[in-house]
Amino acid sequence: MKKVFFLFSFFLSFFLSFFLSFCLSYFQSYAENAHKGEVGGVHFSSRG
């Protein structure tokens, strides 16, 4: 039972770090678009 809890906590921390990095990049691109005057949503297709 302890092994399952350890694995669960490990995957949870990994997922949290990935989610945080994704949020940071998302908000960074959103801030860039807002600075350009494209307020109203982030368009990933227009990037590259």
Q: Where are the alpha helices (DSSP H) in the chain?
A: 2-36
Taking residue 42's Cβ as centre, other Cβ atoms within 10 Å add up to 16
Q: Return the pLDDT at 6.
A: 94
Q: What is the reported pTM?
A: 0.49
pLDDT in tens, 1-48: 899 999 999 999 999 999 999 999 998 888 877 766 554 555 555 554
pLDDT in tens, 32-41: 777 665 545 5
Q: Return the pLDDT at 16.
A: 96
